[in-house]
């Protein structure tokens, strides 16, 4: 591969903070944006056992639904106000700091020739349980 094939991308981890006042979090998803390749993608996975370790009363179903809503915002088929925005604005909105149960981590950068494959890799590396 030549340097010309590599494109810059940005990514952030989605964290679940079941009790905001405690600040404890688990990684539950990744967002990946590559402007040159016109790509916005996400991967989500909620480890319910880890969630229960932080807060046995956390509503895993509601949290899963919220994670999937963020993922749908990344979809090319996104509907509603999010679907009307370009993918760069969607990524910025999803990664804006907030004090809710689902919080974005800091935005990082990388280089890719396959943003979809890198979204899978980041999910495996940063979110899924270590074998």
State residue 79's pLDDT score.
81
| Matching residue, tokens 């932080």 | 54
State residue 80's pLDDT score.
83
The answer to whether residue 110 sits within a structural domain is: yes
For 107-121, what is each residue's pLDDT tens digit? 999 999 999 999 999
The answer to whether residue 79 sits within a structural domain is: yes
Going by C-beta distance under 8 Å and a sequence separation of 6 or more, which residues neighbour residue 130?
A: none
- Name the helix (H) or strand (E) containing 39: strand 39-44
Q: How many domains is the chain built from?
A: 1
The answer to whether residue 7 sits within a structural domain is: no
The answer to whether residue 39 sits within a structural domain is: yes
| Matching residue, tokens 């990684």 | 27
Three-state SS for 52-120 is HHHCCCCCHHHHHHHHHHHHHHHCCCCCHHHHHCCHHHHHHHHHCCCCCCEEECCCEEEEECCHHHHHH
The answer to whether residue 59 sits within a structural domain is: yes
For 37-87, what is each residue's pLDDT tens digit? 999 999 999 999 999 999 999 999 999 999 999 999 999 888 888 778 899
Q: Which of 3, 8, 71 lies closest to 34, judged by CA?
A: 8
Domain of residue 69 covers 16-126
């Amino acid at each position: 591969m030549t340097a010309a094939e590599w494109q810059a991308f940005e990514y952030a981890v989605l964290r679940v903070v079941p009790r905001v006042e405690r600040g404890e979090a688990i990684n539950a998803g990744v967002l990946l944006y590559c402007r040159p390749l016109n790509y916005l993608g996400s991967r989500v996975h909620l480890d319910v056992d880890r969630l229960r370790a932080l807060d046995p009363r956390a509503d895993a179903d509601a949290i899963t639904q919220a994670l999937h809503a963020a993922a749908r915002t990344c979809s090319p088929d996104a509907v509603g106000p999010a679907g009307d925005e370009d993918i760069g604005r969607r990524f910025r909105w999803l990664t804006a700091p907030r004090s809710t149960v689902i919080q974005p981590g800091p935005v990082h950068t990388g280089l890719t020739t396959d943003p979809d494959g890198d979204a899978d890799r980041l999910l495996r590396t940063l979110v899924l349980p270590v074998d």
